[in-house]
Structure 1
């Protein structure tokens, strides 16, 4: 039994050894911690975060601030009128640690190279579309007001805006006019009163950061508003237009036009009426001006026609001249971006009644067939030359000169065949008497009839003259029967 004792001791010691090891390890740990507390120092570091991302640790918070301030200061030289700041969100969080470690150079370099300087600005949006960024809300509002003065007088706009603010109104009413000394009921002719100025869409402003170079001046903002926002529209090709022409019309480069129309190439031949996609611009917002105006306007006179058999058909006389009337009209107008979109009458008052025009219209029918017996075609006068040989050639007509009046008359009823200038005849009229006879009247100073017109025997057709090959003022008169030249004497 005594020989098993060492084994029993070993069995007992197996439970004691782990406890001894734990105590030894704890002693070593406590000794090490105490030693570290004695040998190390408790220091302060700063964690630098940019937009939530940990960049590194530094021991000098002010140096990091100086870097940011320097970047802003350098930019300020170019944008002195703007409020500048670092564009990113930078957080510097302190922490106390034993044996602090840090890398100032790494963090400084990152901040120098990656931080941006932006302007604290106000963004203007109209109908949800961005117009641009401005120095502040006041600058944005001034730009919008300046744009509106393209369509309404600046003084009227200021007065109207003040009235709206004074009355705390979103819409202006006819009871609160621009001109306090007038009401719409006492407007005189030509007077205009603006009753409202509004915008067709909602305008909103929000504070945002943006690149300083992107902040618009008042002049630039007005230009953006005037140009409008781009929209894709369709252009129909007109005769003679080329791709270059169409691109220029819509302020596009040729490549931009081709990108909008992928089926086209620079060498493509266009067809009239072909539809191409282009970019046009439409206003960000319409300036809606409402006005009331009083104007003197004319009232058209009516025309009354009276038939009379004392005048030939086709003739008419004015028995009474018409006169326009006048009225005072009070209108309400709506004008969109300078273009009148509606005009409604509020009331009107006649100040002068119109006078009817009375026309007497002839109903007497002139027979187009001649009687066969000719009347003398002039007012008096004598035969200065007859039909026959003269100066070695045939003289086809009878010349009548020395009348008491230069009026030339139709020798018989008939239809005007021609009334025109004809070489040696000068101004010449030919009448077909619809009975086989034709008469010619030449050398006229003027013509009073036209082809196709029916004339009556004795009716004035022209005035005696000396046009064409003529030795003086006279009428050259020719008569034909079934196409054969006749001597006029035999028919008087």
Structure 2
């Protein structure tokens, strides 16, 4: 019994101790709560205002700043509803609970009014990681790119590619995409098909806040894309430099150099040490078009030369007329900014074989020495006046008139001594040395077909009968000399 009582008393003591501890803890908790509550009484919230990370002051109500900014944005958008506006700077507010607030609303608002800039929400068009301009929205930027492509590709084709891209995006099967891209078209002569239109650089769009004057319209964007950018390169004028030599040094022409330097003109005097912009505009991006076309081309005919001793050397005649052939050629083209960069033959088919031209050339040597047997120097005709006294003077030769055609012929083989105008009354005159003691003169010609030094064949055409010089009508005046002495032409014809 005693032992049980002792145990029971021990348990009772433990329970009593635990109860006391719980009561003390509860009292402490209530005390702490009361202390915190009493400490929070009298605290106010202030806001530290930061512009782009720089502390500009504190306000007791951030609505003072946000309301001002909202009003400015509404004012801007009412004045120009083409754009949406935002604050260029980053504004942040950090709250703090303090016993004695020390805020200065007016001062902070004045700073905000002076420092913030309300600008346009825009999209930056980036090409190859470089900025190519700002637009009011992504749609406008894309439209500028579309119009730029349309400078080199028909809009109908661009629209077809756009529709195909949209269709491909909706297709769930890679197989379908593959099949749609592998469809081949049969081209007829004169047909072409565009396979792809791409840009040479990656294009992306980034949201930015910029000044209104920096925002481009579609037209201005296209103009900028066409103009491109300039490489940062200058030429320092040295002694002896002129615009032309500077331009040539950098593979430019003078007009391009003047375009790059608007303050210069062709009459500008360059100073030694003067900096000249010698860079050329490089496009932001190239429009690359891959297409195929079928064309008909001519095949040049070959020329075959055959020799013949039946013709005199220097003479020739066509034995067979040449005819061009035809072929259909299928080309694959890569076109960059409207100019063909690569051209590859995919296939070709000859539709008409060419016919070669056959020319017969003479090998027979023309003798420059006369035969001594003279041929009549005109095509028919009659002697209208003989050599001898005439009209109170002496007629030095013989006149022939009334031929069936007016060709004048060499009376024998020989060498042309002279051929041209004679001021002594002969008009157009030819002198032929027959290299055998004989010489003949042909006068009053309307035209001459030979040149001095030329070897002529007996009976070949040397000119046309006329009435130049001292002449009373169309006729040939011919004179003959033997060993330097004039003889009567009638004696040899």
- Shorter-chain TM-score tier: 0.7 to 0.9
Aligned to 1:420: 420
Displacement after TM superposition at 1:220 (Å): 0.9
What is the rounded CA distance, in whole Å, between the counterparts of 1:364 and 1:253 in structure 2? 70
Deviation for aligned residue 1:373: 4.3
Distance in 1 (alpha carbons) for counterparts of 2:234 and 2:212: 37
1:166-216 Cα distance to aligned partner (Å, 9 max, x none):
34699xx997579x8xx33x2111000001111112222222222222111
Distance change in 2, residues 1:379/1:51 (3 Å): closer
Contact 1:124–1:132 (CA<8 Å) still a contact in 2? yes
Deviation at 1:465, TM superposition (A): 2.5
**Deviation of the 1:389 alpha carbon:** 4.9
Q: Quick one: structure 1 residues 104 and 298, their matched pair in 2 at CA, closer, same or farther if it must change by over 3 Å?
A: same
Residue matched to 1:273:
none
Please name the residue that 2:125 is paired with. Answer: 124
Partners of 1:234 and 1:41 in 2: CA distance:
69
**Cα distance, 1:203–1:474 mapped onto 2, change above 3 Å:** same
TM-score by length of 2: 0.79
Q: Choose the corresponding residue for 1:253, options 262, 265, 268.
A: 262
Partner of 2:444: 443
Matched-pair contact (CA < 8 Å) for 1:368–1:413: yes
Q: 1:277 to 1:453 in 2, by over 3 A?
A: farther
Residue 292 of structure 1: how far off its partner (Å)? 0.6
Could you tell me how far apart the structure 2 residues matched to 1:482 and 1:124 are?
A: 96
Deviations 1:234-277 (A, max 9, x none): 999548999x96676333133799xxx984459xxxxxxxxx75
- 2:265, 2:374 → 1: CA distance? 82
For structure 2, the 5+ residue unaligned runs are 1-37, 236-241
Q: Is the 8 A contact 2:290 2:333 kept in 1?
A: yes
Q: Is the 8 A contact 1:328 1:349 kept in 2?
A: yes
1:482 and 1:122, CA in 2 relative to 1: closer, same or farther beyond 3 A? farther
Provide the C-alpha distance between the structure 2 equivalents of 1:200 and 1:480, rounded to a whole number of angstroms.
84
Number of aligned residue pairs: 438
**Would the aligned equivalents of 1:380 and 1:403 in 2 still touch at CA under 8 Å?**
yes
Question: Is contact 1:247-1:254 (8 Å) kept?
Answer: no
CA–CA distance in 2 between the matches of 1:83 and 1:61? Answer: 23
CA deviation profile, 1:23-67 (whole Å, cap 9, x unmatched): xxxxxxxxxxxxxx99x9543322211111111122232221122
1:455 equivalenced with 2:464 (yes/no): no
Aligned to 1:375: 375
Quote the residue 2:351 is aligned against: 351
Aligned to 1:154: 155
How does 1:123-142 map onto structure 2 within 5 Å?
Answer: 123-142=124-143
In structure 2, the CA distance between the partners of 1:193 and 1:90, relative to structure 1 (3 Å rule), is same
1:76-475 equivalences under 5 Å are 76-167=77-168, 176=180, 183-184=184-185, 186-232=186-232, 237-238=243-244, 249-254=258-263, 263-265=272-274, 278-422=278-422, 424-475=425-476
Normalised by the length of structure 1, the TM-score is 0.79
- Which segment is superposed worse, 454-463 or 160-169? 160-169
Q: Give the secondary structure class of the aligned counterpart of 1:279.
A: coil
Compute the RMSD of aligned alpha carbons.
3.5
Secondary structure of 1:370's aligned partner? coil
CA distance in 2, matches of 1:354, 1:234: 56
Distance in structure 2 (CA, Å) of the matches to 1:225 and 1:482? 86
Equivalent-residue separation in structure 1 for 2:312 and 2:234 (angstroms):
59
* Secondary structure at 2:65 match in 1: helix
